[in-house]
Structure 1
Amino acid sequence: MTRNLLLSFIFVTLIALGHGATNCTEKNGFMYCEDVSSQGQSFLNKREEEDNYTFDVCLDDENDKIYGIVSQFDFFCFDEIYSSSDFSIKGRMAAKNSINSKRVAINTSQPEDCSTHSLKYAIYTDKLEFEQGSINGGIHYGSELKIPEETKNLLNSHHCTISKDGADSIDFNTIEKGMNEISENLARMTPNSQIEVTDGELKITLQKDVKNYVINADGGIFKRENGGYSFQVIKPEDFNIDLDDVTILINVSGSSFTIANAGYKNENNVPKALWKKFIWNAPQATEINIQNVDIYGLLLAPKAVVNFKDCQIEGKVISKSLKVSQFYITSSEVTGCIPSNANYKTGIECNVENVESKEINSDILFIFDESISMCTYIEAMRNKLQDFIDQLNSANANARFSVIGFGGKPRIYTGFTNDVNTVKKAFGKLDCSKGGQESGLEAIRMFLKKSNKFLDYTKNASEDKNFEDVSKLDWRKDSSKTIILVTDEDSDLPHYSENRNDLQNNINRLTKNVYYYDNRSNRKMYYSATGSDIYFHSYNEGEEINKETADKYIGFPVNLYEYPYYSQYEYDRFFEPAFSPAKLMIYQNTVHDIHNNAETKNVLTFYRTGSPLV
């Protein structure tokens, strides 16, 4: 990761954290919330007022302000819909770029006469192509329409509109942002139930007095290599809630997952209609494969290409793209609603009592790289951090801050405090003159362990006094906990031996009988620490190596041209080896060679080629 990219990440983190609390006001029986997201109030901006605060936000025509026009479509895709076979749905469909199929039957639940329809168009897309089929509804397209003339004539005779009128266009980009926002916020909700995995079955057990269920599930549980399985909802005898009021939200994690060879069990008086109350939410998925299974409810996967094969849907799909074969969709009403038992980060829903009577408890730790290379950034970063503190303070956030510096021995500028002036003074003490190991990961490790080896810089800089009041490093139990690491480098070898791993602590064991093989001298590198020679392969500058090999060289700079090729270990010059993948690179700074008693350059060390752990 480059310096600029890493610092950009830090700036973005500061900006994101600095927005403060969400404010809500009540007007005309609805709750209006100030939203910190870029989407403002476009999608989820109101809640119905109920005494017990158990309202739901449902996918239906009455909530177009929440979902936009998406509510009125069975399929809504932000790229394309493609079918390699026949395609039949009872409702409407929309795809930003293209819809392509062989034979289609669209909006079959509606009469042929479009003059009776509530929505002018059954299809929205830029490019539409199919060989044969029927459409009960109009077509809105952008650049290309390839359908049989017979179909066009039938649509005209049924008073259905075929148009590319820009005034009727759908803003797919805005809706896509909104759907991603809703999906991501649903995934942040606190789970209150789980899927029990047993041989051949995935079970969800309903709970007494609970009607909104939030479940986190890894996508891997839906794939069975040997044979199929079934979903089952179990209703206990003491369950006393009308099943019509139940919603089950399943947040599926992972970039891809497969649901295959699955069925449903309806036992214990659990009606099939309950499955329509499912919301399958996959905010991070980019590929979903569904084969030989019926899907009920709403599938919300705004980033995913969804592949359907040999299956049937009773519900709706919102995705990036849709690719189907041997497929049928029943346009059943999705009655599942978004549960309302959490306040979303973006202020999508607000609880008056929570907003007015509860503070935002936040503990934020800043760990700052004070090495010379940070001089380019230190003034701007110091100002930005102070602005960030002011923003949180003006938002009346109950925030505490701690400031740590590293470069050599890590040091404390302030333990956790809510005194804004103390924090600003701590930022003012930060500089870029520190040498030694630049080990940001060690500073994190020491803080989490409440180490007593931090230098005490809370009043005066001192290399002799350690920070003693480690209780000031405690997180509050009820707070959100954030660590912000500000650096332009990866992490060096830890300064203190107790923070190193075994190979790092035994660093001198490889300094005897060490040789290096290169193409110039035709020599091999080996060591005989146990009496037998152990040979290493030759690696040229820039050649990528794996972790196992990098660990063998752990902590060693290597002189490329001069025997004995390893230089003396000095804590203020030594480099922690890169986590794999890594490359052997020339380090141009001076390193002392104890064998020749001279200063030398052209030293090789390992730099990771992947992202630093910050």
Structure 2
Amino acid sequence: MSTISKSSALFLLPVLLAAGSAQAGVLDLGIGGANLYSLGNFSASGSDVEGAVLVAGNLSASNYAINGKNKDAYGGYSLVVGGNLNYSSGSIKHGQYYIGGAKTTSNVGFNSSTASSTLPLSFAATANQVKQTSGALSHVAATASSSVQYGGMTLTGSGSGVEVFNISGASLASVNHFNFGSQLSKHETLIFNISGKDAIGFNQNGVGLDGFKDYNVLFNFYEATHLNLQNVGVYGSLLAPLATVTGGGGQINGNVIVGNWASNIQVNASRFFQPTQLGGFASAVPEPESYAMLLAGLGLIGFMARRKARARSGA
């Protein structure tokens, strides 16, 4: 059997790596159009999620409404629960619902929603994918900058159309308003990679977030294990796959992906994150072009190995 030398392998390594790094990846949250996805459990009362809800573990809710805006996930599901459902005094509207474990309900209206025996996704695979997305996104180089002064954070872009900011959870929690500076245009994509395992979230004394209404926004709390949201109005999607989210009051307008949901804040089915091309981002699922480059690299390895073997045999 022919072999390839270490020097040749090192020469070809960039060819193989190019399959995953040379091109921009598509940043897509990959949760089938759901409004809220919990990788663990869900517990809430006295509020609602306007779109579809996915819960890998158990769901416990009272005086709660789901999918009032008829924003189904995975082609027609309003609610998917991998574990047990304990639900009182509420409603599940439109689409189908799937319950993997025991179902206990009282005074729950299943308005135009019907039971399904088919699980529309793999919770394990989806959890792995969103964690990979959050982690990979955190390594994308910043294209924009931020500065804090007099209680406000000024955001300065690069004019690239997709801006990446790297900020700390402490900085985010310290400000009460945002200034949108130069080189930022409305309808651009703004991505915030927010560091800190115990990121408190947004300023709990009232923070002005209305300016984000004009942008496609994703807040990536890639390290946070606890995220508290209290009386805030968030315009943008939250990606916090390791975090237990607590708090109440206010609203989130966008997609929400969390480790566990233990909050009464309202989640609205608006301003969902729009998939976008992002330079330096390695998407969790390789694109067809990446496969083609990988196969080309493997073919080149085989060709060089065969040529070396012929040279040794004198052919």
TM-score relative to the length of structure 2 = 0.76
Q: Percent identity?
A: 19
The alignment partner of 1:86 has SS state of: strand
1:161 aligns with 2:114: yes
Name the SS for the 2:141 alignment partner. Answer: coil
Gaps of 5+ in 1: 1-16, 26-32, 36-46, 48-52, 60-66, 357-393, 396-614
Q: Which residue of 2 aligns with 1:284?
A: 223
Larger-Rg structure: 1
Residue 287 of structure 2 corresponds to residue 334 of structure 1: no
Does the CA-based 8 Å contact 1:290-1:308 persist in structure 2? Answer: yes
- Note the C-alpha offset of 1:82: 0.7
Residue in 2 aligned with 1:483?
none
Distance 1:80 1:264, change over 3 A: same
Q: 2:213 aligns with which of 273, 277, 283?
A: 273
SS in 1 for 2:207: strand
Deviation at 1:57, TM superposition (A): 3.2
Counterpart in 2 of 1:213?
A: 163
Q: Deviations over 1:527-576 (max 9, x none)?
A: xxxxxxxxxxxxxxxxxxxxxxxxxxxxxxxxxxxxxxxxxxxxxxxxxx
Tell me whether 1:176 sits opposite 2:127 in the alignment: yes
Aligned partner of 1:344 in structure 2 is: 282
Q: CA deviation at 1:210?
A: 2.0
Change (3 A) 1:22 1:348: farther
Matched, 1:105 2:65: yes
Instruction: Tell me by how many angstroms 1:308 deviates.
Output: 3.0
Equivalent in 181, 186, 190 of residue 243 of structure 1: 186
State the aligned residue count. 281
Is the counterpart of residue 324 in structure 1 residue 233 in structure 2? no
Alignment partner of 2:208: what SS?
strand
> What amino acid maps onto 1:177 in structure 2?
N
Structure 2 residue aligned with 1:189 = 140
**1:86-108 C-alpha deviation (Å, 9 max, x unpaired):** 12121011111111111111111
Say if 1:315 and 1:333, in contact at 8 Å, map to a contact too.
yes
Q: Could you tell me how far apart the structure 1 residues matched to 2:33 and 2:64 are? A: 19
Q: What amino acid is aligned across from residue 120 of structure 1 in structure 2? A: G
Between the two structures, name the one with larger relative contact order (CA 8 Å, sep ≥ 6).
Answer: 2
Match of 1:78 among 22, 26, 39: 39
Q: What is the deviation of 1:264?
A: 2.3
Tell me: CA distance 1:214–1:349, structure 2 relative to 1, closer, same or farther (3 Å): farther
Residue 190 of structure 1: CA displacement? 0.7
Match of 1:229 in 2: 176
Contact preservation (8 Å) 1:88, 1:328:
yes
1:295 match: secondary structure: strand
Secondary structure of the residue aligned to 1:223 is helix
In structure 2, distance between residues paired with 1:56 and 1:344:
5
Q: Which amino acid aligns with 1:329?
A: V
Return the letter of the residue paired with 2:282.
Y
Aligned to 1:294: 233
Flag the structure with higher strand content: 2
Change (3 A) 1:351 1:217: farther
Structure-2 change in CA distance of 1:218 and 1:172 (3 Å): same
Q: 1:185 to 1:118 in 2, by over 3 A?
A: closer
Conserved? CA contact 2:25–2:282, under 8 Å: no
| Root-mean-square deviation (Å) | 3.6
Residue deviations 1:303-326, cap 9 Å, x none?
Answer: 11111322210111111111113x
Who is 1:144 aligned against? Answer: 102
Q: Which amino acid aligns with 1:212?
A: V
Gaps of 5+ in 2: 1-9, 295-300, 303-315
Q: Which position in structure 2 is the counterpart of 1:252?
A: 194
The answer to whether the 8 Å contact 2:26/2:283 transfers is no
